[in-house]
Amino acid sequence: MKLPLAALLLAMSSHAAVSTGNPFSGDPPDATHPWAIHDRNRPQPPRVEPGTFSTPAQPGQPPADAIVLFDGTEASLAKWEADTKPGDPAAPTKWIVRDGALECVPKSGQIRTKEQFGDCQLHIEWAAPAQVQGNSQGRGNSGVFLMGLAEVQVLDNYNNPTYADGFAGALYGINPPLANALRPPGEFQVYDIVFRRPVYREGKLIDPGYITVFCNGVLVQDHTPLEGPGGHLKRSAHRPFPAAGPLKLQDHGNPVRFRNIWYRPLPPRAIEGGTDGALTAEATTAKRASIAAELRSDATKLPRDSVAQMLRLAESLVYERDPSVAQRVDTLAASYLATLKATPVAELEKKRGEAETVLRAFQYLAKFDLVAKGHPAIAGLERIGQAQGWNQKKK
């Protein structure tokens, strides 16, 4: 039973030659979900060739689509520059590459990437000096500034208490880390960060932005809302961020080392026009209309007046009601039913799979009030099925 139906659906589909779900089966789209449950029209996730994990001794490989900001080579230092004041000319950084790591030269100033970006998944590894010097904020201090603004603290807190909102893995001045998962000084620590900038619309904050941080695989920031960029001693407040900014690393006077720095830009959130996540009714309607338009255009490429064309048009009604399309589906259904009625009984058996698929499609549409409950195709196909004994006989 399952196989012939799947084969039929496949034959009627002009989609890729693999089944990505059956139409007229899962709960349909609603006011805030443009797709049905298990919707075959929902885009496949893009393939990303994964990298490898780092060990304390060796940095891992970034995933294939990562934008690498530092790979341990002298050449990748060219992706960085000194963090000169706005308006001042660009200048090369005085930080150095030593043993495959980018090392802060104390008192040489902060550095920044030439590349500017916003929402991202950022991977960065750092090591505080093996030789322990200083305490509290004075020991192995640096910082990872997303967009040059929000600091994820870098600090040797292995055996070194400090104020909690200034701890390694803190969103500095705003939120302490959930745990201290640091390795001893001298060993590389791994930060995996998910960063979302604040979003304003017409001057109003509609999303504060968020930061999620794993330190050595341990969750230390759990979708923590931003409160502006954060800061030293002063209570930070929400404010707009630019569209993009550089990644900055702090010179806090300690020769902290970095390696394996890469990021992946993130797709827009629903409130910025993305179509995954919590959608507004407006965005859902727009997406549903575009899916319906695609299906209707697809239908024009199928054989004229065919069952496949009727079903594709019917499928589009699941996303968007349209009286003229509904009428066309009714006309095609009526002529399909007439063809079946004129088919000799012996021949009808060959049409069983197709007829049952059409019946299921109309039953689905009627169940969700997309066609009339008493649609003539339903009663007509049920009658043919009863006469053929399809309900009793297993295929």
Examine residue 59 and tell whether it contacts Mg ion (CB under 5 A). no
- Report the SS3 class of residue 107: coil
Q: Report the 10 Å Cβ neighbour count for 76.
A: 15
Q: Which two tokens stand for residue 203?
A: 């001057």
Stretch that binds Mg ion, among 19-27, 133-141, 288-296, 341-349 (CB under 5 A): 133-141
Residue from 143, 169, 185, 255 binding Mg ion (CB under 5 A): 143
Min separation Cβ 161 and Mg ion, Å: 16
* Shortest distance in whole angstroms from residue 28 CB to Mg ion: 51
Q: How far is the CB of 152 from Mg ion (least distance, A)?
A: 9
Chain residue at closest Cβ approach to Mg ion: 143
Interatomic CA distance for residues 29 and 194, integer angstroms: 29
Stretch of 27-35, 118-126, 194-202, 245-253 contacting Mg ion, by CB under 5 A: 245-253
Q: Does 177 bind Mg ion (CB under 5 A)?
A: no
- 118 or 143: whose CB is closer to Mg ion? 143
Binding status of residue 176 toward Mg ion by CB under 5 A? no
Minimum gap (Å) between residue 204 Cβ and Mg ion: 31
The CB-side HSE value for 5 (13 A sphere, CA atoms) comes to 15
How many angstroms separate the CA atoms of 281 and 387, rounded? Answer: 45
**Any residues with CB less than 8 A from the CB of 288 and at least 6 apart, and which?**
29, 34, 319, 320
129 binds Mg ion (CB under 5 A): no
| Angstrom distance (rounded) from CA 309 to CA 62 | 45
Judged by CB under 5 A, does residue 166 bind Mg ion? no
* 30 to 34, 164, 275, 287, 294: CA distances (angstroms): 7, 45, 14, 11, 18
Task: Count interface residues toward Mg ion (CB under 5 A).
Answer: 3
CB of 143 to Mg ion, least distance (A): 3
The 3-state DSSP class for residue 217 equals: coil
Give the tokens for residue 199. Answer: 């979003």
| Residue 29 or 143 with smaller CB distance to Mg ion | 143
Q: How far is the CB of 256 from Mg ion (least distance, A)?
A: 9
Question: Which residues here bind Mg ion, judged by CB under 5 A?
Answer: 141, 143, 250
